Amino acid sequence: MRSFLSKSLSTVSIAVGAVMIPAPVHAACPLALAVYGDAESEAGIDFRPTMGAATVTNSFKMVLDKGVVLDGIVMWTDGVARPHGSLMYKCPTGDVTGDELAACTVWEGVVYSADDQGNIALLPAEGVDAPKTLIFPDLGPSLQMSAAYGADGFSKVPWDAFLLKGCQE
C-alpha cells in the first residue's frame, strides 16, 4: 500500500510541476519590424524603422508578384489626426516636385488596423506592438489603375487587408 501511495504521489507531483512550468512567452513584435501578407495574391508588407524621421511615422515596402516593389510611408495629418499612407512606384530620388511625387504615387489613404475581435483602430506608431490586421481601403482598385500593373508590372491584385505573418529579426 505504501509503495502504491508513493508512486501515486510522485506521479501527481510530476504532473503538478509540469503544469506550473510557465510556457515560453513569445515577445510581441513592434510594428517597425512586422511582416504582413495577403492570402489571396501573395503580396507582402515588410515594415522597417523610420530612423528618427521627423514627419514619417512608419515606413514599409510592399512586394507584389513579378518582383514589383512599392515604397510606403505613413505620416500623421494635422487637425483631425489620421495615419495617412502613401505607396509609391519608381519615384525619382533627390529633390522632387509635387507633380513628380503625385505621378509616382499609386495609392493614398488612411491606414487602419484590426485586432482578433475585429475592433478597428488607426495604425499605431512604429514602436507599438504590431496589430493582427492592416487595412488599406481601396488598395486593389487603385493599384490596378496604376502604372505598376499590367504586362510590365504585377498581375495579381492584393486585397485591402493584410494579416500579421511574423517579425523580422
Report how far residue 163's alpha carbon sits from residue 121's, in angstroms, rounded to the nearest whole number.
15
Cα dihedral across residues 162, 144, 84, 72: positive or negative: positive
Q: What are phi and psi of 90, to 5 degrees?
A: 50, 50
pLDDT (tens digit, 9 = 90+) per residue, 5-27?
Answer: 444 434 434 333 433 444 333 45
Is pTM, for the whole model, over 0.85? no
Residue type for 42, please? E
Report how far residue 84's alpha carbon sits from residue 73's, in angstroms, rounded to the nearest whole number.
8
Report how far residue 161's alpha carbon sits from residue 36's, in angstroms, rounded to the nearest whole number.
9
Residue type for 53, please? A
- Burial track 4-19 (b if 16+ CB lie within 10 A, e otherwise): eeeeeeeeeeeeeeee
Residue with cell 495609392: 107
Q: ∠ at Cα 61 (155, 68), nearest 5°?
A: 25
pLDDT (tens digit, 9 = 90+) per residue, 28-53?
Answer: 899 999 999 997 888 999 999 987 77
pLDDT (tens digit, 9 = 90+) per residue, 89-130?
Answer: 999 888 888 899 999 999 999 999 999 899 999 999 888 999
